[in-house]
Amino acid sequence: MEKILQVHELMLAAKAFMVTSAELLNDLGSDEIIFDENELIISSKIANEIYEISLRGVKKFRDGEKNELIEKFLDICVVINGELHLAWNIKQEIMDSLEIEKERQINALALRTHRKSSAGWEFRKKLNKNHEFNKRKERDFLNEMAELQKQNYYLWEYRRWLFNCLLSEEEKAEEVQEVKHFCEGHPSDSSSFHYCFYIMNHQKLNDEAYEWIVGICERFYSEKGLYDGISLPGYETLHLFRAKSRKKENDEEEINYIEEQIRLGRNQIAKLLRWTVE
């Protein structure tokens, strides 16, 4: 149990977690565990040992056997295996008896490690739905997660839930500007553009949305744009956004843009845009 207690204590202080080979750890100056600059690295041998012990404890707890270490067992299980629904479900069931800030720390560590853990994101939703939290810090965490994993459906669905259920009107306005800024730097992240269109439409910013996407297309894809050629980053994603946000009065501008794209040899997506104005 000594290793479980040691690793769990370090998990409560870590911002990143990794399991690696003993050989690599030896090269880094340790046989089993390294904690440096808020990153916890453990050997696969130690990970297997503490996970097997913790999983047995979790299963016994589910069968009715109490254990004073159950919270630590659950934490270790979800950080090492973010898709273990059994552990996340038990956490939800006993949430009222847990230390909420510790739960936020473990959940954040698990999500940084397993960024598409549907159960982990669902647990975070329940955690923040039932307990007060700093929404600015939460949005900063989500911005960090967006940088770590592009096109993460679970992240953007969680963000949509947060927007719909918990943000004030002022915070929603801030969210629109922050997401627009993110999208401008990540043209290939289709999930972020879908979310951006949703929140701008929700806030009745359709005219602003069209002007914004036209400006991005001009910057990236015009004759003097940043990108040239035919296969371009974000080309389809941005133009689908453009097609959804345009109005009838934009037809002339759209036709001129389409003609420019055809001159540049980008016929396939230009045909899609031409369909939207005919």
Q: From CA 190, how far away is CA 171, in angstroms rounded?
A: 23
- What is the number of residues in the chain? 278
- What residue spans of 186-234 are helical by DSSP H? 190-202, 206-221
pLDDT of residue 276: 60
Domain ranges of the chain: 1-119, 134-203, 205-278
- Report the chain (278 residues): mean pLDDT per 10 consecutive residues: 95 96 80 92 95 98 95 98 97 95 97 97 96 96 96 97 97 98 95 97 96 95 88 89 89 89 81 60
How far is C-alpha 119 from the geometric centre of its chain's CA atoms? 13
Residue 53 and residue 207: Cα distance in Å, rounded?
57
pLDDT, position 176:
98
Q: What is the pLDDT of residue 275?
A: 59
